[in-house]
Structure formats: C-alpha cells, structure tokens
Amino acid sequence: MKFFVDTANIDEIREADSWGIVDGVTTNPTLVAREGREFEPTIKEICDLMGDRPVSAEVISLDAEGMLTEARNLATWADNIVVKIPMIKEGMKAVKVLAQQGIKTNVTLVFTAGQALIAAKAGATYCSPFLGRIEDMATEAITVVKQMVDIYCAYGFDTQVIVSSVRRPEHVVQSACWGAHVATVPFKVLDQLFNHPLTDRGIEGFLADWENLQKELGK
Ligand code: E4P
C-alpha cells in the first residue's frame, strides 16, 4: 500500500519523507490556502522534493474547458504532477480528454462507489473517496472503499483508489485491509501510526535492563 502525505506544508513533507515511507503528496485548495503562499511556487517546490513521486494539485474551474486549460498548465510545472478534478460531469469530460493526452488525474470529492465507477470509466488515474467526510454525516464509510476496490478489480480498471479525508490511524488500517492502493494521510495521523505505549514501555525496559547489566559487570 502506498502512503501519500495530505499536506501542502513543506516542513511536514520533508519530515515525513525523512521517515522513508512517503510515496507521494496530495494537496487541495484548502491545504494550499492554509500555507498562505502562492499556489505555483508551493506546488513546484513540493514536486521538486518528491522527485518522480506523484503530487496532486487541484483545478478551480467548474467547466471542462477551464479545467483543461488549468490542467495543461499544471502539467508543464513538473513531470510528477497529477491534476485533481472534482467528481462532476464537466470534470469527467475533462478527465476523458486528459487521459487521452497522457495527463494523470485524481478524481476528488468522491463519496459513492457509483461515482468511483464513473471516474474509472472516464479514465482517471486515481480516485479519492473521502472517508472522514462520509463519517461526518454519521454514515459508515469503509464499505465504499471495499466496493471501489471490488469493482476496479472485477473489471480490470487501472484506476487506483486513494483513500482520502483520513482522520485517524484506524482509517489507514481499514483501507489496507480492503486493498486500497493508496492512503493519503495528514502529517499528524502519519505520526500517530508509529506510536504505541507498549513500544515506548518496551524500549524503556530494555534500556534499563541493559544499564543494570553494565553496572553488575562493573562497566
Ligand atoms: C485529499 O485528497 C483530500 O482533499 C483531503 O484528504 C480532504 O481531507 P478533509 O476531509 O480532512 O478536508
């Protein structure tokens, strides 16, 4: 399973990448706005940091022609750009054209397996179901991921599922259990995935026992 970091914060990306487990980055307009910097230099810097690993950057237009203009421009910024397109009819028109032109896409704001099926038929490279936001509606969410993986496998779609709107480590584990190709994980949740109190307690115990042995041996 691939891990993408869901952030536009350069320090977070650098830190997470130093852990050796980052396969790409996703951003959205909210995440970019949170950094208070211009869009283009922010995305270019992230693309540079990631090398050949994919970086999703989202279009703002809501009509296919506008999305195509933005997407083609984004694609000139770096070879590893993935253009994020919302799950609307105009968006799927744009995805179809971009797929034919070899520009990678990530269909975003997906909440049902039906939407995911449409995204795959349009030729999306990635499709992003929003787990946390589904749960915010007091609705069970992980079934959508299972349905998406089942449908893509059954019909041999190349589209990869990026589980998005991840709020806690359990979302990543559940997504892995259902065979999602990617989880895009906020920095805080990625950090939490490492932690367990018994790991900390185990290290303390091992080090204390080692120190005691050194003392017994007169070292
Ligand atoms: C990533 O592709 C999505 O834009 C992001 O995961 C949304 O997360 P949120 O629901 O926490 O805003």
Task: Kindly report, residue by residue over 31-74, the tens digit of the pLDDT.
Answer: 999 999 999 999 999 999 999 999 999 999 999 999 999 999 99
Strand partners, 96: none
Strand partners, 81: 55
Residue whose Cα lies nearest atom 10 of ligand 1: it is: 165
Question: Given this model, what pLDDT does residue 152 score?
Answer: 98
Question: Given this model, what pLDDT does residue 24 score?
Answer: 98
Question: Given this model, what pLDDT does residue 58 score?
Answer: 98
* Residues 6 or more apart whose Cβ sits within 8 Å of residue 91: 64, 67, 85, 107
Q: Does CATH place domain 2-216 in 3.20.20.70?
A: yes
Return d(Cα 44, Cα 32) in angstroms, integer: 12
The answer to whether 161 and 127 are in contact (CB under 8 A) is: yes
> pLDDT confidence of 84, banded at 50, 70, 90?
very high
Return d(Cα 95, Cα 84) in angstroms, integer: 9
Question: Given this model, what pLDDT does residue 219 score?
Answer: 82
Return d(Cα 48, Cα 44) in angstroms, integer: 6
Asked if the model's pLDDT at residue 191 lies above 90, the reply is yes
Return d(Cα 136, Cα 123) in angstroms, integer: 29
**Token pair of 111 as six digits:** 């909440």
Residue whose Cα lies nearest atom 8 of ligand 1: it is: 165
215 noted as active-site residue: no
Cα(216) to centroid(ligand 1), Å: 55
For the chain, give the mean pLDDT: 97
Active-site hit among 2, 84, 93, 121: 84
Asked if the model's pLDDT at residue 149 lies above 90, the reply is yes
Asked if the model's pLDDT at residue 113 lies above 90, the reply is yes
The answer to whether 189 and 168 are in contact (CB under 8 A) is: yes
Asked if the model's pLDDT at residue 163 lies above 90, the reply is yes
Asked if the model's pLDDT at residue 196 lies above 90, the reply is yes
For range 118-140, the mean pLDDT = 97
Question: Given this model, what pLDDT does residue 36 score?
Answer: 97
CA atoms 144, 150, 155, 158: torsion sign? positive
Percentage of residues in the chain having pLDDT higher than 70 = 100
> pLDDT confidence of 147, banded at 50, 70, 90?
very high
- Among 6, 108, 126, 172, the mutation site with the greatest number of ligand 1 atoms within 8 A of its Cβ is 6
Question: Given this model, what pLDDT does residue 164 score?
Answer: 98
**Ligand 1 interacting residues, C-beta cut-off 6 A:** 6, 26, 28, 108, 128, 130, 132-133, 164-165, 184
Query: Tokens 């744009």 map to which residue?
Result: 94
